[in-house]
Amino acid sequence: MIKQKIRDFIFRELVFVDNPAQFSDDDDLLEAGLDSMGIMRLIMFIEDQFGVTLPDNEIEPDNVKSFNALESWILRHKKP
C-alpha cells in the first residue's frame, strides 16, 4: 500500500515515463527524472500521507532512489 500510493503520486505529479506499469520497484527514480524539487514535494506528500517525519539529514540518493528504498525509509520512521 505504501509503494502504490507513492507510485501513483510520483507518476501523476513528478516523473513522466511512457509506461509506469513497467517501472519496477527497484528502478532508479533519479535516472527517470526525479529532481531535487520533486524530492521535496515527495517528502511533504509522504509525511502528510503516512504521518511520519523524515529527517532532513537523511535526504540522500540511497533513500529516494527507488520505491523499495522509499518504503524502507518510511518504515524506519513510522511509529508502530
- 58 part of a folded domain: yes
Strands (E), 1-80: none
- 54 part of a folded domain: yes
DSSP 16: -
Number of domains comprising the chain: 1
- 11 part of a folded domain: no
- 40 part of a folded domain: yes
- 18 part of a folded domain: no
- 16 part of a folded domain: no
Q: Which domain holds residue 76?
A: 27-80
Tell me, what CATH number does 43's domain have? 1.10.1200.10
State the pTM of this model. 0.93
pLDDT in tens, 11-62: 999 999 899 999 999 999 999 999 999 999 999 999 999 999 999 999 999 9
- 61 part of a folded domain: yes
- What residue type is assigned to position 70 of the chain? L
- 17 part of a folded domain: no
Question: pLDDT at position 79, please?
Answer: 81
Contact (CB, 8 A) for 72 and 50:
no
On the question of pLDDT at 80 being above 90, the answer is: no
